[in-house]
Amino acid sequence: MSTYKLLSYQINKQARAGVLVGDTVYDVQKVTATAAYATVMGVLAHWAQAKKALAEFERKISTGKSRIQGTPLKKTKLLSPVLYPGDMYCAGANYTDHMQEMARVMNQPPGPNMKELGEKPWHFMKSTRASIVGPGAKVKIPPYSKAMDWEIELVAVIGKVAKNVSVEKALSYVAGYTIADDLSARDMMKRAKIPQSAPFHIDWIGQKCFDGACPVGPWIVPSEQIKNPHNLSLKLWVNDVLMQDSNTSKLIFDTAEQIAALSERVTLYPGDLILTGTPAGVGMGRQLFLKPGDVVKLWIEEIGELTHSMA
């Protein structure tokens, strides 16, 4: 079985698509001799063919049939693996433990979740080019926020056009999975002068779309390499203190259900990102928020580790 990872890396101030085999990064365009694969978005646009070419290259490396030279991973500057997706959809209130946590914060009874109420998954959108940063990024806390929160999320990366797909077939549209920190300015959630009943009461741009609001990485693990995306441990640390510790089995709407529901409303395209929700352990639940100098480390089983800091 293949074990390669798809990533973006920087060389000569340019972003290039790379394939990680073992601990070495190779240029995808070079190893496949395909000009369209210079970027990860180009690879994802032809994912059915590209993944076969990458698996074949890995086989040649492992059997000594390729002499193409790569760069050690530790000497490679990684970027966000997808530069830049067309759209980024983020699931809200989608972990059972997080729903219970937020109910406590708001002094409300836990109550039935959206699925139990017969509702469909609920998503908001984050900006892409402004929000997305990669491994090792220093995210500047916007001057208007004193309540910057963390949220680890499993991310599904779309690999082929999806419209009106069934739940049963939805995961076949996923090229692979990566990790994101859905950073949130909690003190920008609500507009105090606007009535709570008004649709303009919640400020999604201020809360979710500031520059650097979404560290993503370190790479994309092809979906064939993930045994079960709905049974993955995920953890987040702030300055080496464990804050979030859960499992994707606690998703209310799983990844397939989210893709199916989204595809009823919009066409999903290769490179689109779906952030599937965050579990309990966010800062808002304990009124503890990020400050300049903090280091955030995220880990998801079978994917790897993403680290960034706050400035």
Answer for the pair 183, 147: CB distance below 8 angstroms, yes or no: no
Q: From 79, 102, 137, give the residue that closes a domain.
A: 79
What does the block give as tokens for 142? 């916007």
SS3 state at 44: helix
Q: From 58, 79, 100, give the residue that closes a domain.
A: 79
Residues 38 and 74 in one domain: yes
* DSSP track, 235-302: EEEETTEEEEEEEGGGBSS-HHHHHHHHHHHS-B-TT-EEE----S--GGGGT--B-TT-EEEEEETT
Average pLDDT on 7-22 reads: 97
The boundaries of the domain holding residue 64 are 5-79
Count the domains in the chain: 2
Half-sphere exposure in the Cβ direction for 199 (13 Å, CA)? 0
Residues 223 and 148 in one domain: yes
Q: Which residues of 219-246 are buried (b: 16+ CB within 10 A; e: fewer)?
A: bbbbbeebeebbebebbbbbeeeebbeb
Residues 304 and 264 in one domain: yes
Residues 298 and 157 in one domain: yes
Residue 185 pLDDT: 97
Average pLDDT on 126-136 reads: 97
SS3 state at 149: strand
User: Could you report the per-residue pLDDT of 278-309, keeping only the tens digit for each?
Assistant: 999 999 989 999 999 999 999 999 999 999 99
Residues 215 and 175 in one domain: yes
Residues 98 and 59 in one domain: no
93 has a pLDDT exceeding 90: no
Q: From 79, 99, 122, give the residue that closes a domain.
A: 79
pTM given for the model: 0.96
- Residue 75: pLDDT band by 50, 70, 90 thresholds? very high
Residue with tokens 């390729």: 66
Residue 276 pLDDT: 98
User: Could you report the per-residue pLDDT of 229-240, keeping only the tens digit for each?
Assistant: 999 999 999 999
CA–CA distance, 244 with 237 (Å, rounded to integer): 7
